[in-house]
């Protein structure tokens, strides 16, 4: 959880350094709001060598950024952390862990559906040995007037067949 918040702060800091203050183009950004929430995720990935049931809490951090100088539409920097998702093979009982953080830039809209592919692999393996892919679908809700996040949920049909070996 701290890692996700740290990642969000790093992204925010980079934004300020790159375009903040009186940067090369004289641009100024305005942070409308930021939030972090944990969303329950679960689903079964079908494929070889076995089907794997994944579940856990996905940490989602959002930062709404407005552009007061040029009047561009607001954007949302979304950081999604899968490090608390684990799994178990349905045939062998092998334990699996998920990994990877996704950082996305999205338009600020009242309802945003974000589909993200993330890796998971047998616990104790090194590198990408045995790595597979899973799909997570999140619905993020915002108050577009204030720029605040109002809710987040994972798709109830997280079942996927992304068994890329």
Q: What are phi and psi of 12, to 5 degrees?
A: -60, -45
Structural domain contains residue 164: no
Domain-embedded: residue 12: yes
pTM (two decimals): 0.74
* Residue 79 pLDDT grade (very low, low, confident, very high; cuts 50, 70, 90): very high
Read off the tokens for 107: 């338009």
User: What is the span of the domain harbouring residue 25?
Assistant: 2-154
* Number of domains observed in the structure of the chain: 1
Domain assignment of residue 160, yes or no: no
Q: Is 2 helix (H, G, I), strand (E, B) or coil?
A: helix
Does a structural domain hold residue 106? yes
- Residue bearing the bigger pLDDT, 2 or 66: 66
- Phi first, then psi, for residue 75 (nearest 5°) are -125, 165
State the pairing for strand pair 95-98/75-81. unpaired
Q: Which helix (H) or strand (E) holds 81?
A: strand 75-81
Q: What is the pLDDT of residues 9-41, one digit of tens each?
A: 444 444 443 444 444 444 455 676 788 999 999
């Amino acid at each position: 959880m701290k890692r996700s918040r740290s990642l969000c702060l790093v992204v925010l800091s980079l934004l300020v350094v790159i375009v903040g203050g009186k940067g090369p183009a004289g641009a100024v950004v305005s942070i409308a709001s930021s939030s972090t929430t944990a969303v329950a995720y679960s689903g079964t990935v079908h494929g070889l060598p076995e089907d794997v049931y994944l579940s856990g809490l996905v940490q989602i951090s959002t930062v709404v950024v407005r552009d007061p100088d040029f009047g561009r539409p607001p954007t949302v920097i979304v950081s999604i952390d899968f490090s608390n998702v684990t799994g178990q093979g349905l045939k062998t009982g092998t334990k699996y862990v998920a990994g990877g953080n996704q950082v996305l830039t999205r338009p600020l809209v009242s309802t945003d559906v974000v589909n993200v592919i993330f890796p998971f692999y047998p616990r104790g393996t090194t590198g990408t040995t045995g790595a597979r892919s899973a799909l997570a679908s999140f619905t993020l809700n915002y108050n577009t007037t204030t720029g605040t996040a109002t809710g987040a949920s994972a798709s109830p049909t997280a079942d996927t067949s992304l068994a890329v070996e």
